[in-house]
Chains A and B, each alone.
Chain A
Amino acid sequence: MPDTPHSAAPRRAPLWAVRGEMSRKTHVIFAVLGFCAVLVVWFGLAESGWFSKVFLPAPQDVAQRFYTWLAEDDLLKDVSISIYRVMGGFMLAVIVALPLGLMIGTFRPIQAFFEPVIEFARYLPAVAFVPLVMLWVGIDEGSKIAIIWIGTFFQMVLMISEDVRRVPKAQIEAAQTMGATREEVITKVILKSAMPSIMDSLRITMGWAWTYLVVAELVAANSGLGYAILKAQRFLQTDKIFVGILLIGLIGLVMDQLFRWVHRRRFPWLHA
């Protein structure tokens, strides 16, 4: 008898199995292919000549624009001022939302006091606050940061309070039966337990902060990626609009990966 059917080379898991497994390498290959597909379709459409360059610039035009913007028009200044505004608004939102969300998720009276108001405020459109913010805060950096703050803060508080509420009761009661004080329960159990999901909530709200950037830079700005996009529209520089949008997307992606990296470093027990 020759070899049995089992003695062949190690069997590979089928790639198209329902909810199948996939190696990290294959995953990366598919992700890169996804980006390439978009690029190829874009290139094809631009080269086909069906569209005017005003409507759809070719990838190489966009790349060219990126280079000139970088070399001649101080792209780095636009990028850094935008990052500064987003981070400013976002960090200020975190500083208030973190303790408030923690308290709302922990104490019923605080929940009853704040939650309905915040639920209401969450539906107020941040965009509509632009004129008010200009009136109250003025037209300097503060106003841009304020718009981003309004756009992210309310959602953030509610998400953090929900993360805090999801801490298992048994974890809290175990500490109580060991004689933990109220402060110790909050700092040594609730905060520690909720931190990974709070980090995820922050990662998600960070994305929203970037969407509000363009709105914020409507307010009498003369720099920044959002401002550059709006100005490019006035001059029909479609390629510049593309660069601006793609850059915001790219920066967002980098920030997201940064959050994930911190998550893995900071919470090894979840990834062990």
Chain B
Amino acid sequence: MLKLEIRQGSKIFHAGKITLHALQDINLSIHENEFVTLVGASGCGKSTLLRIIGGLENFTAGDVSVNAAPVTGPGLDRAMVFQDYSVYPWLTVAENIRFCRELKAHQQDNSLRATYHAIGRAHALLELMGLDNVKNAYPNQLSGGMRQRVAIARALMPAPEILLMDEPFGALDAQTREVMHGLILHLFTQERSTIVFVTHDVEEAIYLANRVVVMAPQPGRIDSIYNVPLPPAGQRHLDMKLAPEFLSLKKEILQRIRATARVHTDAGLLDKLTKQHHHDNEEGRSL
């Protein structure tokens, strides 16, 4: 079933006389229970695209729809996990996870049954994320990896249909990140939600996803889309990162990213500088 659809999405920034095409003609369909990662060189607009899906920003032209209904702002069908600093330091781990229950938007149903259900879900999330023994600790007392677990659990609390993740493990060290990958794959199979995940780490993008969307800058656009030839999320393990098909896909994607990131600027400049250097040398010799 089609979950999320982006049609002809463009976003243009005006900075003085300069017009910046942050995103141009984005078309993307994501199905239910699909794990899609967005990768690309910096400036390709992957985070902007995710924020637009989340309703935090808008396209200048084009539209996004979830379950065939147009997105006009943040909604309870989508939840978002940020890179860092989004967990509330004044609340304990458990209070952070229950935060949404404090909001009017989540208090439509205050029946005993709904409350009971919420308590149960909070407990289940604490357990699922391995936070049970630190549930009364404050975020400042936790490591970066633990804090991100809290952020993910908090986002999952209202049982969103789509989970949007903006480089959630970008600030973590390599080992913690691998642990988090295992966790997120487990969670994905358990929750059966749809995940859109932004990262600059190609290996992470392949290991987690069903499909990898490679984006390119200037203008920000979708360059290519790859299906990941790995077993379903529940059956993946770290050794698969060394499988030949994994490595060849990684190579292909890295090449695409390098090719698109370099476009004219670096190569052109380098060329010019080299020529200048030669020229100077020639002159030096003739003197």
Contacts of B139 in A (CB 8 A): 269
Q: Known A188-B102, A193-B90; judge A170-B158 contact (CB<8 A).
A: no
**B106 contact from A170, A179, A188, Cβ within 8 A:** A179
Q: Is B104 touching A181 in the complex (CB atoms < 8 A)?
A: yes
Contacts of A170 in B (CB 8 A): 82-86
**B138 contact from A173, A176, A184, A272, Cβ within 8 A:** A272
Contacts of A128 in B (CB 8 A): none
Q: Is A179 touching B86 in the complex (CB atoms < 8 A)?
A: no
Residues of A within 8 A of B (CB): 168, 170-171, 173-181, 184, 188-189, 192-193, 195, 267-270, 272
Q: Is B79 touching A189 in the complex (CB atoms < 8 A)?
A: no
Top 4 A-B pairs, shortest CB-CB distance: A179-B105, A170-B86, A269-B138, A168-B85
Can you name the residue of chain A whose Cβ is closest to the Cβ of B83?
A170
Can you name the residue of chain B whose Cβ is closest to the Cβ of A169?
B85
**A174 contact from B86, B90, B137, Cβ within 8 A:** B86
Cα distance A71–B155 in the bound complex, in angstroms: 65
Contacts of B105 in A (CB 8 A): 178-181
Interface residue tally on B, bucketed by range: 35 or more
Q: Is B89 touching A269 in the complex (CB atoms < 8 A)?
A: yes
Can you name the residue of chain A whose Cβ is closest to the Cβ of B76?
A179
Contacts of A270 in B (CB 8 A): 89, 140
B74 CB–A CB distance under 8 Å: yes
Q: Is B55 touching A177 in the complex (CB atoms < 8 A)?
A: yes
Interface centre among B56, B75, B158 (most CB of A within 10 A): B56
From residue 148 to 179 of chain B, which have CB atoms closer than 8 A to chain A? 151, 154-155, 158, 164
Q: Known A170-B83, A170-B84, A184-B103; judge A177-B89 contact (CB<8 A).
A: no
B99 CB–A CB distance under 8 Å: yes
Q: Is A272 touching B141 in the complex (CB atoms < 8 A)?
A: yes
Please give the distance in Å from B51's CB to the nearest CB on chain A: 8
- Please, could you name 23 A-B residue pairs with CB atoms under 8 Å apart, sorted by A? A168-B86, A170-B82, A170-B84, A170-B86, A171-B88, A173-B86, A174-B82, A174-B154, A177-B54, A177-B79, A178-B74, A178-B76, A178-B99, A178-B155, A179-B76, A192-B90, A193-B88, A268-B138, A269-B90, A269-B139, A270-B89, A272-B138, A272-B140
Beyond the given A178-B106, A195-B90, could you list 11 further A-B residue pairs with CB under 8 A, ordered by the A residue number? A170-B85, A171-B86, A171-B88, A175-B103, A176-B74, A178-B100, A179-B76, A179-B100, A184-B102, A272-B137, A272-B140
